[in-house]
Structure 1
Amino acid sequence: MTTEIDFTRRLASVTAQAIDTLGSREDAERWLASAAIGLDRYRPIDLLQTSEGTELVKTLLTRMDYGVYA
């Protein structure tokens, strides 16, 4: 079970990574709230409820940094 503190920490970490990847807080927040093809159309923010989902989101952001989508 995810506590609110766990979720908040995951959100802060992923938001920081998304800002680095996408260039702005606004773009990062928009991306987090939108269905992502690389996440089987799940919204990244919804996957932050679990550590496994959070790792999927972080992995996708890292791949985006390197231009690797497949």
Structure 2
Amino acid sequence: MLKCEGLRKSYSGRPVLQEIGFELPAGAWALQGPNGCGKSTLLRLLAGAEEPDAEPPRVCRRLQLPNRMEP
């Protein structure tokens, strides 16, 4: 399961993600949306490649990514 609540991120003072919260069951899932809506930012935050804004999220269990994707 992946659960996140209160996730925020901004760049140069411009908010990209504000108070993001969700709960997903274990297994495969997809993320879709228009260009520039924050999909890649959200995935980088969940993977630990970027840090959220100063206030830590209330709940966020990080996504574990394999070193190599299987075809």
Pair in the same fold by TM > 0.5 = no
The structure in which a higher percent of residues are helix is 1
TM-score of the aligned structures, taking structure 2 as reference length: 0.32
Relative contact order higher in (CA < 8 Å, ≥ 6 apart): 2
Larger radius of gyration: 2
Q: TM-score scaled by structure 1?
A: 0.32
